[in-house]
Amino acid sequence: MTEIEESLEILNSFFGDNPTKKIGELNKSLAASDRTQINQLLSEEKIGRNLIHSAYLIKKISAQIDTKLHCLGIIYLLNKLLDEDEIIESLALGSDNQSEFDLVTNHRIAEFKFGEWKGKDSMRRKKLFQDYFNLAESSSSKRKILYVYELDPVLKFLQSSSDFSNILDKEESLRIAFRKKYGNSLTFVKEYYAIKDRLVEIIEFKELLNN
């Protein structure tokens, strides 16, 4: 067993299938504790340098994992998505913003979202709307496509009553562009989607990753 495999096993053994629940239990156990009780918990839970080292190692190899997944995922999917006569004009595989969109070809402009949605995912919703907005507002006559890992939660969000006061919060460039064009005429995400739903195709690629 490699050091990485061992570290994963140690962390999984400690946190189990529900890390949030485990952390909540620890938080509750430590309430009103003194040093003696803390030392007892450390001993009972086997929280020591080995466990901390394992967490550090996994954190190190997981650095920028979203960027790495974005890069590898797009490259893998290109062969499955492009037409026979389609030529790549520009790509944004990382976070260097060398291309206006993740993919620009002679046929399409596209953005890719590899995240799996759990719960409300506030930040993920903001980033998704930003990509959807940029595609919808583009003056390009090419196909406009938003590729997503799972379709249902994305459509549920775009058809929801999520308030723009929350979606545009802390996204200054998006807020300026959106308000410049629409002012305060739109309140909910579903209102914008109703206007733009025919302009942007939303395609699920989950199954393609398994083929």
Cα dihedral sign for 93, 126, 138, 141? Answer: positive
Same domain, 46 and 99: no
Same domain, 198 and 108: yes
Q: What percent of the chain has pLDDT over 70?
A: 98
Same domain, 89 and 193: yes
Tell me: pLDDT of 118 over 90. no
Select from 46, 61, 76 the last residue of a domain. 61
Same domain, 47 and 145: no
Same domain, 97 and 172: yes
Same domain, 86 and 55: no
Which pLDDT score, from 0 to 100, does residue 105 have? 96
Q: Is the overall model pTM greater than 0.85, yes or no?
A: no
Angle (CA) 169-172-176 rounded to 5° is 105
Q: For residue 114, which of 169, 74, 59, 55 has the smallest C-alpha distance?
A: 74
Same domain, 83 and 103: yes
Q: How many domains does the chain have?
A: 2
Which residues constitute the domain of residue 159? 65-209
Which pLDDT score, from 0 to 100, does residue 174 have? 93
Query: How are strands ordered across the β-sheet holding 88-91?
Result: 88-91, 103-105, 108-113, 143-148, 201-204
pLDDT tens across 139-175, in order?
999 999 999 999 999 999 999 999 999 999 888 999 9
Same domain, 83 and 183: yes
